[in-house]
Amino acid sequence: MLLRVLKSMYTYIKAFGLYKGLETGYKIKTHRVQHMSCKGMAHPFSLRPHTSDLPIFYQVFVRREYDISLGFEPRIIVDAGAHIGLAAVFFANKYPNATIFAIEPELSNFYMLEKNTSPYANIICLNKALAARDDVELSVTGSGSVTSNFVTGEWAGTDNASFRNRVQSISPEGLRQQFGFDRFDVVKIDIEGYEKELFEANAETWLSRTRCLIIEVHDQMKPGCSKSVFNALSAYDFSFFTHGENLVFLFE
């Protein structure tokens, strides 16, 4: 019996050590996850039981998909599709001298994002959607417990049964000008298919100022996402590798 328990908890034990791994694995498996703490994180954070907060936690803190060797110390990080702030929290602890812009369009996620990042003075939360143009009114759709799969698109009224809220867009260049920085050190993008529209217009205004792009593409949700991303990147010299579900581009 004990052997079976240890085997089922192996990934958590490997990530966090015996005691903390057993505690974390137990909370995840029994959905007692309202308050979590992780080794190396300065503050605890909250997860919502029976939602996709749990696989996002696994992705960020167990598989450590954003623990990437950059070769430099980033000062400006954009987390687009910040969800409830787990990647932003990871970045804030790994790079305490960086300013992190956490952008999340869906309101219930955004409230959790603000809660989880409130202890960190270097995280700025924006209830916006990253887009190719500023101040475009977009809709956010999605439903159920899959809290990481909300989709942004052009606002078309409230007749959609899965409509959640509407939100204003902000472009990378608009963000840069509003907050007065020169370049993006890291841009992390996980926006559930809207990367297609983001990379199809005005991408040169911010890609030319970017040192590292970390992106998850969603061709399964919107065909052509990868093509749009690589077409926009074709004008630049970069090295490229995969890390977990992410494509990582380091620009020369």
pLDDT digits (tens, 9 = 90+) for 21-49: 888 888 877 777 778 888 889 999 999 98
Q: What number of CA atoms fall less than 13 Å from residue 148's CA on the CB side? A: 20
Residue 183 lies in a domain: yes
**Residue 73 burial class via C-beta count within 10 angstroms: exposed 0-12, middle 13-18, buried 19 and up:** exposed
In the numeric block, the tokens 């970069």 are attached to: 238
Return the closest-CA partner of residue 119 out of 46, 60, 43. 43
Measured CA to CA in angstroms, residue 101 lies from 6, 44, 185, 249 at distances of 39, 20, 12, 19
Q: What angle do CA 53, 84, 134 make, to 5 degrees?
A: 130
Supply the range of the domain harboring residue 102: 66-251
Return the closest-CA partner of residue 251 out of 187, 196, 191, 195. 187
The total number of residues written for the chain in this structure: 252
pLDDT, one tens digit per residue, over 183-234 is 999 999 999 889 999 999 999 999 999 999 999 999 998 999 999 999 999 9
Residue 18 lies in a domain: no
Q: In whole angstroms, give the CA distance from residue 54 to residue 83.
A: 12
Q: What is the pLDDT of residue 37?
A: 84
pTM equals 0.91
CATH of the domain at 78: 3.40.50.150
Q: In whole angstroms, give the CA distance from residue 109 to residue 249.
A: 27
Q: In whole angstroms, give the CA distance from residue 139 to residue 153.
A: 5
Residue 94 lies in a domain: yes
Residue 133 lies in a domain: yes
Return the closest-CA partner of residue 117 out of 149, 83, 151. 83
Total domains, the chain: 1
Residue 58 is classified by DSSP as: I
Tokens of 154: 């052009």
pLDDT, one tens digit per residue, over 76-130 is 999 999 999 999 999 999 999 999 999 999 999 999 999 999 999 999 999 999 9
How much of the chain, in percent, has pLDDT values that exceed 90? Answer: 67
Q: For 142, phi and psi rounded to 5 degrees?
A: 155, 170
Q: What is the pLDDT of residue 166?
A: 87
Residue 160 lies in a domain: yes
pLDDT, one tens digit per residue, over 126-137 is 999 999 999 999
Cβ atoms of 120 and 86 closer than 8 Å: no
Residue 16 lies in a domain: no
Residue 185 lies in a domain: yes
Residue 25 lies in a domain: no
